[in-house]
Amino acid sequence: MDITYMTIFELSERIKYDQRTIREQLKDSVLFEGVHYIHPFGGRKILYLWERIEEEMLNGVSLNSLTVST
Using DSSP, state whether 31 is helix, strand or coil: strand
User: What is the model's pTM?
Assistant: 0.80
How many domains is the chain partitioned into structurally?
1
What is d(CA 43, CA 34) in angstroms, rounded to the nearest whole number? Answer: 14
3-class DSSP state of 37: strand
C-beta separation of 66 from 35 below 8 A: yes
Q: Can you give the residue range of the structural domain that contains 48?
A: 5-66
List the pLDDT tens digit at each of the 70 positions of the chain. Answer: 689 999 999 999 999 999 999 999 999 999 999 999 999 999 999 999 999 999 989 987 666 656 655 4
Residue type, 46: I
E strands present in the chain: 5-6, 37-38, 47-49
